[in-house]
Each structure stands twice: as C-alpha cells, then as structure tokens.
C-alpha cells in the first residue's frame, strides 16, 4: 500500500487482492480448502456494482465510487484501488504508519469446486471464484484475519457476506512537502550565502 499524506487528505493506493493465485489455507464448515479468484471476476463485479463502498475496518463509511473517493479496476495482477480519504482519524493513522492494508467484502454468486492432490498425495478442495458481488473495500488499521464471514439481511433474506484480506504488506508513507513561498528569512539567508561566497572569493 502506498500512502500520500496531503494537507487535508490522504491518498492510498495498492492491490486489494490478486487473481489466478492460490490463497493460503482456508476453512469452512466442511474443512480446509484453497481459493482462487479467476481473472475477470473483479472486472465483472465492478461493472455490476457501480457504487462500491469504501469503509474503515468494514464498519465506518468513508466514501464510495460515485463520490469520487474510490477508484477500482482489475488489471493483470488483481483488484487495484485508489482512495482519497478526508477522515481525520484515518489520516492520522496513515501519518503514524498504523494502517495495515486492504480488505474487501463480497457475496459469492458462482464458484467452481474441484479436488486436487497435494505434494503429500492428500486431497485438497479448491474453490474458484468466477462471479461475486463486491460489497465494499476497506482500509484496515489492525492485522486482519484473511477469512471471515457475517450474515446480513437483504429483502428479508439472509445473505452470507465473506471478507478477504491481502497478506500483510509493506506500507510506504509519503508526506507532502509544503514549500514556503515569499519567506523573508529564506530570502535574506540566500543573500547572505551569496555575499559570503563573493567575499571569500575576493580574499583569495
């Protein structure tokens, strides 16, 4: 994650998740499995939901796509996000290097399951996500659990929402430099410097 601190905001960008790569070991009620997000899945999800929400720790609303505070796209690597945040707490945590990365919440619309042998000849279930509803993208300030779920009500029906987080990544924080314009002290300091250079040259 790359973080740029500005005067009244912070811009964050990076990859929320990758495609065509096996996840770490996950578990559900049926046991262990490995998950792969197929290429094109995020692009389809973004097309089907033109106003994905931006949250802090999956809870507090920070913005959304339509407001211009969140941009999402899928490329050859995965789901890339760029967010502009004006929330004072998030800006302060970014400045103090307390942010931990990205996460996203989704509902699975279609997945392909298969079984594959591992290096020790055991059988591992593999889940390939091909169609999801992308609910939200979150900025985190705590070490995330890679997999989590919650139940939400929609149209009086229970809907399973799943959460995935990218592995802990390096956070690069860049503080915007403020140039001092028309600063008399810097002006006279420059004059003094040039004077000393000329004086020193004349003494030789």
How many structural domains is the chain composed of?
Answer: 1
Range of the domain at 139: 2-176
Cβ neighbours of residue 8 closer than 8 Å, sequence gap 6 or more: 86
**How far is the C-alpha of 191 from the C-alpha of 1, rounded, in Å?**
43
Q: Would you state the structure tokens that stand for residue 128, as one six-digit string? A: 């390939």
Residue 96 sits at φ, ψ, to 5 deg, of: -90, 10
- Which residues sit opposite 101 in a β-bridge? 140
Let me know if residue 24 belongs to a domain.
yes
Let me know if residue 49 belongs to a domain.
yes
What's this model's pTM, rounded to 2 decimal places?
0.80
Residue with tokens 């003494």: 203
Residue with tokens 């942010």: 99
Let me know if residue 135 belongs to a domain.
yes
**pLDDT tens over the chain, length 204 residues:** 999 999 899 999 999 999 999 988 888 888 899 999 999 999 999 999 999 999 999 999 999 999 999 999 999 999 999 999 999 999 999 999 999 999 999 999 999 999 988 778 889 999 999 999 999 999 999 876 555 666 555 566 677 889 998 766 678 899 876 544 445 455 456 556 655 666 565 555
Let me know if residue 199 belongs to a domain.
no
Let me know if residue 201 belongs to a domain.
no
- Which residues sit opposite 17 in a β-bridge? 79
Tell me whether strands 78-85 and 147-154 are parallel, antiparallel or unpaired: unpaired
Let me know if residue 203 belongs to a domain.
no
What distances in angstroms separate CA 47 from CA 36, 103, 115, 154, one per listed residue? 20, 19, 31, 21
Task: Burial-class residue 135 by CB neighbours within 10 Å (0-12, 13-18, 19+).
Answer: buried
Q: What is the DSSP string of 97-160?
A: T---EEEEEEEEEEEEEEEEE-TTS-EEEEEEEEEEEEEEEEEESSPPPSEEEEEEEETTEEEE
Buried b (16+ CB within 10 A) or exposed e, 137-162: bbbbbeebeebeeeeeeeeeeeeebb
Let me know if residue 7 belongs to a domain.
yes
- In degrees to the nearest 10, what's the CA dihedral of 11, 14, 15, 16? -30
**pLDDT (tens digit per residue) in 72-112:** 999 999 999 999 999 999 999 999 999 999 999 999 999 99
CB-CB contact of 96 with 173 (8 Å):
no
Let me know if residue 159 belongs to a domain.
yes
């Amino acid at each position: 994650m790359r973080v740029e601190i500005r005067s009244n905001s912070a811009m964050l960008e990076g990859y929320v998740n990758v495609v065509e790569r096996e996840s770490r070991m996950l578990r559900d009620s049926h046991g262990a499995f490995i998950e792969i997000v197929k290429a094109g899945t995020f692009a389809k999800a973004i097309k089907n939901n033109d106003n994905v929400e931006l949250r802090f720790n999956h809870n507090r609303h920070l913005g959304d796509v339509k407001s211009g505070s969140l941009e999402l796209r899928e490329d050859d690597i995965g789901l890339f996000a760029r967010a502009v945040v004006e929330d004072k707490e998030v800006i302060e945590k970014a400045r103090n290097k307390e942010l931990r990365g990205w996460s996203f919440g989704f509902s699975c619309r279609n997945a392909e399951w298969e079984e594959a042998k591992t290096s020790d000849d055991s059988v591992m279930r593999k889940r390939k996500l091909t169609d999801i509803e992308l609910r939200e993208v979150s900025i985190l300030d705590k070490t995330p659990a890679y997999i989590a779920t919650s139940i939400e009500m929609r149209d009086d029906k229970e809907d399973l929402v799943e959460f995935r987080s990218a592995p802990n990544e390096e956070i690069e924080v860049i503080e915007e430099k403020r140039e001092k314009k028309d600063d008399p002290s810097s002006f006279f300091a420059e004059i003094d410097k040039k004077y000393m250079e000329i004086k020193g040259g004349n003494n030789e």
